[in-house]
């Protein structure tokens, strides 16, 4: 059952999506440029007592070094994700979904830029990863943006929130709005009962005289 405010009266959230995507993309590109310029000739840098390590790795696969050697496949997938998000943006009227899709779009564009522009060539470029956590594969800010967007998407979908701002849920129909008039009850069927017949006069009792005389007769 659909409930909630009509999508036609909700403002579009494309501006929010673009702002989030541009911010995520800019942070990813800037940090990668700094890392590539400063860290390749240095040993890994441990921060926060070893909780965070900075090291440069070149990844030919997907996020967290998954599927190494399948760069072209993941380039096509990332391109499809970008196109799908842009198509959804046409009916985007939900602020939480604008943030979610913005994170996904910015992260996808960040890694896609590496695949298009970095060595060894177009559509075969290796992604720059540089963040390492204990017991976790090395990743970058684009990967983190994609993961955060994916988690938010699952939470929003589980709550029934749609991209257009409506809420999809199962359950009994919503109660009538405040101030509304409840439906009038149907009038009860009229029944007619026959009028009771007037009571008949009680018969006058007469004494039985065996001698044939009447009680009011004069002797």
Per-residue pLDDT tens digits for 40-74: 888 999 999 889 999 999 887 655 555 555 667 77
pLDDT band for position 3 (cuts 50, 70, 90) = very low
Read off the pLDDT of each residue in 26-31 and give the average, rounded to a whole number.
97
- 141, part of any domain: yes
Domain limits for position 47: 13-158
Cut 0.85: pTM above it = no
What's the pLDDT at 6? Answer: 47
Give the model's confidence band at 218: pLDDT under 50 very low, under 70 low, under 90 confident, else very high: very low
SS (H, E, C) the chain: CEECCCHHHCCCCHHHHHHHHHHHHHHHHHHHHHHHHHCCCCCCEEEHHHCEEEEEEEECCCHHHCCCCCHHHHHHHHHHHHHHHHHHHHHCCCHHHHHHHHHHHHHHHHHHHHHHHCCCCCCCCCEEEEEECCCCCCECHHHHHHHHHHHHHHHHHHCCECCCCCEECCCCCCCCCCCCCCCCCCCCCCCCCCCCCCCCCCCCCCCCCCCCCCCCCCC
Q: Is residue 110 part of a domain?
A: yes
The residues carrying an active-site annotation are 129, 143
Domain-located, residue 118? yes
State residue 186's pLDDT score: 58
pLDDT tens digits, one per residue of 185-215: 555 555 555 555 555 555 555 555 545 555 5
**Residues 100, 92, 87, 1: is their CA dihedral positive or negative?**
positive
Residue 56 domain-assigned (yes or no): yes
91-146 pLDDT, tens digit each: 899 999 999 999 999 999 999 999 888 888 787 788 999 999 998 889 999 999 99
Q: Is 43 exposed, middle or buried (0-12, 13-18, 19+ CB in 10 A)?
A: exposed
Residue 149 lies in a domain: yes
* Higher pLDDT pick, 179 / 86: 86
- Sorting pLDDT into bands at 50, 70 and 90, what band is 216? low
Is residue 140 domain-resident? yes
pLDDT of residue 219: 44
Per-residue pLDDT at 192: 53
- Higher pLDDT, residue 182 or 155: 155
- Give the total number of structural domains in the chain: 1
Winning range, highest mean pLDDT, from 1-5, 148-152, 214-218:
148-152
Asked if the structure places residue 207 within a domain, the reply is no
Q: Is residue 37 part of a domain?
A: yes
Inter-CA distances, 66 with 13, 57, 137, 156, Å: 33, 13, 9, 26
Q: What is the pLDDT of residue 137?
A: 86
Q: What integer is the mean pLDDT of 174-193? A: 56
pLDDT, residue 29, reads 97
């Amino acid at each position: 059952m659909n409930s909630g405010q009509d999508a036609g009266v909700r403002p579009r959230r494309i501006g929010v999506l673009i702002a989030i995507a541009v911010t995520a993309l800019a942070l990813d590109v800037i940090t990668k440029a700094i890392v590539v310029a400063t860290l390749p000739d240095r040993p890994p840098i441990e921060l926060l007592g070893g909780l965070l390590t900075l090291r440069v790795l070149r990844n030919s696969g997907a996020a967290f070094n998954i599927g190494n050697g399948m760069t072209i496949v993941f380039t096509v997938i990332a391109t499809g994700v970008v196109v799908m998000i842009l198509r959804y943006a046409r009916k985007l009227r939900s602020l939480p979904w604008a943030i979610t899709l913005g994170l996904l779009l910015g992260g996808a564009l960040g890694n896609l830029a590496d695949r298009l522009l970095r060595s060894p060539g177009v559509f075969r470029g290796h992604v720059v990863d540089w963040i390492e956590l204990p017991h976790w594969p090395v990743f970058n800010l684009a990967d983190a943006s994609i993961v955060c967007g994916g988690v938010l998407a699952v939470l929003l979908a589980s709550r029934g929130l749609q991209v257009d701002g409506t809420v999809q849920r199962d359950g009994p129909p919503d109660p009538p709005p405040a101030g509304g008039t409840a439906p009038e009850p149907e009038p009860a069927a009229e029944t007619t009962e026959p009028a009771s017949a007037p009571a008949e006069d009680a018969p006058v009792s007469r004494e039985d005289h065996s001698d044939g005389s009447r009680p009011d007769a004069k002797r």
